[in-house]
Copies of this chain bind each other. A is one copy, B any other.
């Protein structure tokens, strides 16, 4: 799957992933109103509203981007129907040929991580049948519990040819409270990065490893260092756009081959119609606004990479 991600990034010339993080502030009112009219003020109405919103965005952008990254929290928030919308979104995006990165940030002790890995990347046996559940292509994983919590994901990835992105340096303002603390003279995030680099070497695709990392666009200097520490890992970079990251901050996340990073934007794309710059699309044109934002983002990154 890491080969497919690389191939799709090259083909579409866009190291971009669209964060499909639907909230009631981002979904246009006309969609929510219509669904409430049909299903009442229920979680089911939100399931249908999310699916419609996501479907139209996917239809608009799928030829231009290699991947989507649904943040499961935004679906889990609406309980079982919300999680059904997550499952349907994953399935639809895959039908459209997109790579799906499940932003689930799971991680637990061994047997429990194995259950999460099964849920999101693997399959479960029931009697004589094998059933896949959420079936994303990649998942994000929290490293706090150490290798016990990560290895079960890697085991499933080997079997299914899928991959993970392990949290290293997250994009949020307080990420330094623990991640920046010095351990034997270098920050915790570097130690996590070193461990990822060692794991990554043992599980390689053609050019890159199945084991990637998450490093926020809001920390470009740390990105530069982590790029060097983990040369064979893709870096999934959240925090572009709405969180403050800009194209020129991103260049050091890429290797010299122009690969090795995939930049996520969520609100900046799926909520573009609410941005003054794309306001002319109107609420009804939210999917076209998303595509316009994708094209601008692609240009911003290409320009920054061209100038480095």
What residues make up the interface of A, taking CB atoms closer than 8 Å to B? 21, 23-24, 32, 36, 41-43, 45-46, 71, 73-74, 76-80, 82-84, 87, 105-110, 112-113, 115-116, 118-119, 124-129, 131, 133-134, 142-149, 167, 170-179, 181-184, 188, 191-192, 195
Contact = CB atoms under 8 A, between A and B. Distances in A.
Contact of A115 (B76, B125, B127): B76
A145 B175 contact: yes
25 contacts: A21-B112, A41-B128, A42-B126, A43-B124, A46-B126, A71-B112, A73-B106, A73-B113, A77-B119, A78-B119, A82-B133, A83-B83, A105-B107, A107-B142, A143-B178, A144-B144, A145-B170, A146-B178, A147-B174, A148-B172, A178-B188, A178-B192, A181-B191, A182-B183, A188-B188
A296 to B, nearest CB: 23
Nearest to A243: B109
Given A143-B144, A191-B181, A73 B174 contact: no
Contacts of A128: 41
Given A77-B133, A83-B80, A143-B144, A41 B127 contact: yes
A226 to B, nearest CB: 16
A179 B107 CA distance: 14
Given A41-B129, A73-B112, 7 more contacts: A41-B128, A74-B112, A79-B133, A80-B84, A82-B133, A83-B83, A178-B192
A280 to B, nearest CB: 27
Contacts of A41: 126-129
Contacts of A24: 125
A11 to B, nearest CB: 30
Nearest to A79: B133
A146 B83 contact: no
Given A126-B46, A149-B172, A144 B179 contact: yes
Nearest to A33: B127
Contacts of A177: 146-147, 195
Contacts of A176: 146
Contact of A183 (B107, B174, B175, B183): B183
B146 A172 contact: yes
Contacts of A148: 172-175
Q: Which of A42, A131, A171, A179 counts the most B-chain CB atoms under 10 A from its CB?
A: A131
Nearest to A120: B76
A109 B172 contact: yes
A32 B46 CA distance: 33
A88 to B, nearest CB: 10
Given A116-B73, A134-B79, A36 B126 contact: yes
